[in-house]
Amino acid sequence: EAGVAQSPRYKIIEKRQSVAFWCNPISGHATLYWYQQILGQGPKLLIQFQNNGVVDDSQLPKDRFSAERLKGVDSTLKIQPAKLEDSAVYLCASSPNIYEQYFGPGTRLTVT
């Protein structure tokens, strides 16, 4: 079974630039999550999709972050404009149920 795919793996941008991350979940998983993990901390949920609908985006900084999940499969997370404090690893996860989540390798973003 293929795992959760994410791209790019690394990205370096300057502040105020825009960036987008892509996630392809495990086939058949209805639920998809985006997390932000700052160095030395645990992952923090940004947004949760159930199929192509948003279930929870209460911790998403909506003035600069946006996400979509077209057709209930792949998802993109965008930051526009980026700030220095957005430097983190962005993790995508998918789940077939409400328990176990399967994580991708993450995208390490550095904002200079």
Partner 1 sequence: SQQGEEDPQALSIQEGENATMNCSYKTSINNLQWYRQNSGRGLVHLILIRSNEREKHSGRLRVTLDTSKKSSSLLITASRAADTASYFCATDDGGSRLTFGEGTQLTVNP
Residue linked to tokens 């404090």: 85
Choose which of 39, 70, 71, 100 interacts with partner 1 (CB under 8 A).
100
Counting contacts by CB under 8 A, is residue 99 touching partner 1? yes
Neighbours of 21 (CB within 10 A): 22
Counting contacts by CB under 8 A, is residue 98 touching partner 1? yes
In the complex, minimum distance from the CB of residue 60 to partner 1, in angstroms, rounded to a whole number = 13
Using CA atoms, how far apart are residues 38 and 97, in angstroms rounded to an integer? 26
Neighbours of 84 (CB within 10 A): 10
Number of residues that bind partner 1 (CB under 8 A): 24
Counting contacts by CB under 8 A, is residue 108 touching partner 1? yes
